Structure 1
Amino acid sequence: MRAEVFVNPDRVISEVSAGIFGSFIENLGACIYGGVYDPGSPAADEDGFRMDVIETAKKMGVTSVRFPGGCYAPYYHFEDGIGPKKQRPKTRYRTHYDNPDNSFGTDEYIKWCRKIGAEPFICINMGTGTPEEARNWVEYCNGSVGSRYADQRWENGHKEPHGVRLWGIGNEVGGNWELGYFDHAGDYVRRAREFAMAMKEADPSIKLIGCGAHFPVLDGIYDAPTGYFPNPSDNWNREVLDRMFEYLDYIDLHHYIGHDYKDDIMQTWEKMGTEKVHYYLNEQMQILEDAYRIMREDIRLIRHKHGNMKPIGIALDEYNSWYRADENICCNYTAADGLLAAAYFNIFIRNADVAVLCNMAQLVNVLPAVIVEPGGGRSFRTAVSYVQELFLPNKGLEAVDIWVQSPTWEGAYYKEVPYLDASCSYDREKKRLVLNLVNRHIKEDVTVSFGIKGKTVGAISGKFFGNTEPDTENDLEHPNRLSLKEFRCTEPSGIVIPPLSAAVLNVELI
């Protein structure tokens, strides 16, 4: 199988944001308790944090971590998780959200973020919480000594402000599964403005993320009894952007590939077989690219309406594959799932002008990048963690336009889906490209003819993931079945990408 790729480094999309390498932790299953925080484990450090999780997060280059949820956010009250640990209450909300003793609270979370080198990103409680509580949380984290909650932080051992910059105003508030959900965008906006005003009063410098449509391709047209947006006349994103324009720095969306139709897939998994499911899910990734295009135009429209070109980014603050998880949303990830993660990163880079904050869910044990034994010492990295590490060389470079001509397969919705998925970034100072190539064909190599406007291709090197059976996965007994491997290219005019592989290549230019 042959494909062609042509890059024009003069057509710059935007800088590849470091923010696309974010993560997410939530009190769900054994993600935090027994995962991130596991004082009884021989793998824990002096603070009770799992060192294997810290090591994995560093290798993945995690830049921000969203906390405490997720669907746990509308139950969580930050004051339950501050102060002396022995005095903190036990809380129980839903089956999935048992909280043993609130021993991992705001201060522990921020200390852990500092250890992995990531920025904190807090989602406030819009369900059972109030604007006053959100304001107090901001003051606790960012206030100067001499105010009530800042003084309380000092009493808890932290004189200097934590300096939390990123704050989300609610989680999935347009979905009726969420505690405190809203039927209409206008209802959310009225309440969210109160939160935003109160939070900005505590610290005007914070960056706010507004709740966008749970899935924008369906925004304003989807109406179902279990519904995402019960009122099909709403254009949720535009109303939120318009009426909260002076407050918002980002608008969010969530995307779990396979989740909205996971029951159908699980019921027919054996009938469909791995190969058909693989191609079906890769086709569906195109919907996310469409979502970025739609939201980009929504942002552009509202900017013009307000006569203000201030930057508003899109925060994909929950994403991953989700179609084989158990009731605690625990699963392992296969080589084929790793290629879905690669598709996400290619989409982020191709849409670098708006894809500026992305948080893979979740870091440990739940839709995991790493799986650990709660209380034990063993762990292993899953496919998706290796793929995030693979794409790190793009960070901070210029995303540039790329043209791809590839053989295709016929999908259920998109009639021509390319086997070769690609993106590119450019290091102008060092005169080199980072070329990201994903061969989604399960059985065949793809030989890529590569060209670049006004330049000659020199040496090519890099790393790749995959080239194995699609169901291959790591486990506690076999933690290294999947990993990154060195990529060697002896003929730049024909780059051979093995089947079911993602390669990130450093291309020297002459």
Structure 2
Amino acid sequence: MKTLLLTLALATSAPLWAQNEQAVITIQADQPRQTISKHIYGHFAEHLGRCIYDGFWVDPAMNVNKDGRIRMDIVDALRDINIPNLRWPGGCYADEYQWRDGIGDPAKRPVTLNSHWGGVTEDNSFGTDEFMKLCNLLGCEPYLSANMGTSTPKDLRDWIEYLNFDGKTHLTQLREQNGHKEPYGVSFFGIGNESWGCGGNMTPEHYSEQYRIFQEYARNYSNHPIKKIASGPNSTDYNWMEVCLKKIPQYALWGISLHYYTIATGNWGQKGSSTDFDEKEYFGGVKNALYMDTLLKNYAAMMNKYDPAKKIALVVDEWGIWTEVEPGTNPGFLYQQNTMRDALIAASTLNIFNNHSDRVRMANLAQAINVLQALILTDKEKILLTPTYHIFKMYKVHQEANLLESSVSVNDYKYGTESIPGVNVSASKGEDGKIHVSVVNLNPNKAVPASVILNGYNAKQIKGELLTSASYTDYNSFDEPDKIVTKEYKGFKKENDGKITMKLPPLSIVTLEIQ
């Protein structure tokens, strides 16, 4: 009898053990929640390195398709991922930028110094009207970062009048002379940038008082309301957030920002190579990227205390992995390659944003072209799309869809004495009724069998898309620009009980389209 009981116990425990070896993904498919704002998928273009000049804005003699000096192959690539907004002119550069330097006849614009990034001179040939034209070509909303560090409330007031007022004033006549009679209707304005650091080295108390003054002059003209975004904390500066929430009236805030960069080594002084790293640094990178989830939970809890109705957006307008620059490049230009590790970090972070979209309603990857975790790299006439670009293309299906609550049960990915969840996921349901499930396998050593349980939904048709590569150090180069690209994924099966089973390759991102 004891032998029989032991046999039965082993028989019943075997499926549980087997289940622990796979990822079990459960999705509440019949309970759509809040809309995932398209603005979570925003980008960032600073006057830094080769992002603007020799990126978006090229030499008139360059033999590429251009509209004026705007490089159109870049525009076409960004349009293809449905870029929703673009943040400009910084970053740290914003708090030394004088907007009047960048309007009017380009030949008469002053040459100024970019003291933050490389100590290079700035000819101001790319200014407000050029940026607005770029946004029009991209089909995206502009997100302007206003100078609080070296400017005045009057400068902010005047800039908004130049952009948004439809009456006849000196500033609107200047706008007309510069080729744009109708107001631009800009909505998103950040007031100050990293005011705790490069934007003025302020205390949160002083910043809050300054913000109250500046925002008063960020006025709504001609039915173009301004969405005011305060300069929020860096990483874990919870005191900065709390002081701002206490001292800035809610009516004066559309959103408050958060900046968080992934440093694989955990050491800002030695950030590690973008392409030459081992599993220890790979693990450190993805672990530090996943810390975004903890940050958002903590900040959301704090914001819920002061804003239980969730009227104030959390705007993560600088995020991404930051490594050492490529050898032989200007250290002030922040040019780095982009590997499979970066793609996994981008996908995991977007999953986190989607799952926190009740509070996170805007975000901006740093940066769009040739800087930090760039979507696109250029070399004279050549262009390549990075693995991170392909993630944004895969994930555009989540823009303006309704979040579906999801959970994952899976073994951790372990390295040494540390461990992290090996698989993460987000899911949404669009207006067309299609469900999209995006799954990331961070484990570089193991393929992970997975089952997807769709509660309240009967899948009839399934399509899949996959991004993967053999090594986390793989990247697209100008010699091999298509080493890492998306492919059709067929490694799934619909079971008789309605579950979808599949196998996730090591280092992979899979998006399923289910209807």
TM-score (norm 2): 0.88
Residues 461, 489 of structure 1: 8 Å contact kept:
no
C-alpha distance after superposition, 1:248-304 (max 9, x if no partner): 00110111111762434529997xx42221222211223211111122122221125
User: What are structure 2's unaligned runs of at least 5 residues?
Assistant: 1-20, 495-499
Residues 193, 199 of structure 2: 8 Å contact kept:
no
Task: Determine if the alignment matches structure 1 residue 128 to structure 2 residue 150.
Answer: yes
Match of 1:59 among 74, 77, 80: 80
Q: Secondary structure at the match of 2:460?
A: strand
Distance in structure 2 (CA, Å) of the matches to 1:113 and 1:280: 36
Task: Give 2:227's aligned residue.
Answer: 207
Post-superposition offset of 1:202: 5.4
Match of 1:30 among 40, 50, 59: 50
Residues 24, 67 of structure 1: 8 Å contact kept:
yes
Residues 29, 456 of structure 2: 8 Å contact kept:
no
- Tell me the amino acid that sits aligned with residue 74 of structure 1: D
Task: Determine if the alignment matches structure 1 residue 313 to structure 2 residue 313.
Answer: yes
Residues 280, 411 of structure 1: 8 Å contact kept:
no
Distance in structure 1 (CA, Å) of the matches to 2:259 and 2:108: 36
Post-superposition offset of 1:411: 6.6
Post-superposition offset of 1:380: 0.7
Task: Give 2:481's aligned residue.
Answer: 479
Post-superposition offset of 1:10: 4.3
Q: Secondary structure at the match of 2:269?
A: helix
Post-superposition offset of 1:490: 4.5
Task: Tell me whether 257-266 or 340-349 shows the greater mean CA deviation.
Answer: 257-266
Match of 1:255 among 254, 260, 268: 260
- Tell me the amino acid that sits aligned with residue 413 of structure 2: W
Task: Give 1:372's aligned residue.
Answer: 378
Task: Give 1:323's aligned residue.
Answer: 323
Distance in structure 1 (CA, Å) of the matches to 2:324 and 2:31: 40
C-alpha distance after superposition, 1:166-195 (max 9, x if no partner): 0001111112xx14220x211001111111
Task: Determine if the alignment matches structure 1 residue 421 to structure 2 residue 427.
Answer: no
Q: Which structure 2 residues correspond to residues 157-306 of structure 1 after superposition, within 5 A?
A: 157-175=179-197, 178-182=198-202, 184-200=203-219, 205-215=225-235, 217-219=236-238, 235-244=239-248, 245-258=250-263, 261-266=267-272, 273-303=277-307
Distance in structure 1 (CA, Å) of the matches to 2:312 and 2:384: 37
Post-superposition offset of 1:433: 1.5
Match of 1:70 among 88, 91, 115: 91
Match of 1:502 among 490, 494, 509: 509
1:269–1:31 CA distance, 2 compared to 1 (3 A): closer
Q: Percent identity?
A: 27
Match of 2:392 among 359, 381, 388: 388
Post-superposition offset of 1:324: 3.2
Task: Give 2:15's aligned residue.
Answer: none
- Tell me the amino acid that sits aligned with residue 142 of structure 1: N
User: What are structure 1's unaligned runs of at least 5 residues?
Assistant: 220-234
Q: Secondary structure at the match of 1:89?
A: coil
1:181–1:284 CA distance, 2 compared to 1 (3 A): same
Match of 2:28 among 8, 22, 36: 8
- Tell me the amino acid that sits aligned with residue 280 of structure 2: K
1:499–1:410 CA distance, 2 compared to 1 (3 A): closer
Task: Give 1:357's aligned residue.
Answer: 362
Structure 1 runs (4+) deviating above 6 angstroms are 267-270
Q: Which has the larger radius of gyration?
A: 2
Distance in structure 2 (CA, Å) of the matches to 1:170 and 1:202: 21
1:490–1:187 CA distance, 2 compared to 1 (3 A): closer
Distance in structure 1 (CA, Å) of the matches to 2:133 and 2:73: 16
Residues 255, 318 of structure 1: 8 Å contact kept:
yes
Distance in structure 2 (CA, Å) of the matches to 1:103 and 1:412: 52
Post-superposition offset of 1:416: 4.6
Post-superposition offset of 1:467: 3.2
Distance in structure 1 (CA, Å) of the matches to 2:149 and 2:334: 22
Tell me the matched-pair count.
479
- Tell me the amino acid that sits aligned with residue 246 of structure 1: Y
Post-superposition offset of 1:200: 2.0
Residues 262, 320 of structure 2: 8 Å contact kept:
yes
Distance in structure 1 (CA, Å) of the matches to 2:457 and 2:31: 14
C-alpha distance after superposition, 1:279-333 (max 9, x if no partner): 22211223211111122122221125xxxx3611111111111123351210110
Task: Determine if the alignment matches structure 1 residue 105 to structure 2 residue 127.
Answer: yes
Distance in structure 1 (CA, Å) of the matches to 2:434 and 2:166: 45
Residues 145, 154 of structure 1: 8 Å contact kept:
no
C-alpha distance after superposition, 1:373-408 (max 9, x if no partner): 2xx311111111111111011111111111111110
Residues 134, 198 of structure 1: 8 Å contact kept:
yes
Distance in structure 2 (CA, Å) of the matches to 1:37 and 1:490: 44
Task: Give 1:148's aligned residue.
Answer: 170
Residues 66, 359 of structure 1: 8 Å contact kept:
yes
Task: Give 1:456's aligned residue.
Answer: 458
Distance in structure 1 (CA, Å) of the matches to 2:368 and 2:119: 17
TM-score (norm 1): 0.89
1:237–1:329 CA distance, 2 compared to 1 (3 A): same
Post-superposition offset of 1:426: 1.8
Q: Secondary structure at the match of 1:189?
A: helix
- Tell me the amino acid that sits aligned with residue 129 of structure 2: D
1:268–1:211 CA distance, 2 compared to 1 (3 A): closer
Post-superposition offset of 1:103: 0.6
Distance in structure 2 (CA, Å) of the matches to 1:352 and 1:490: 28
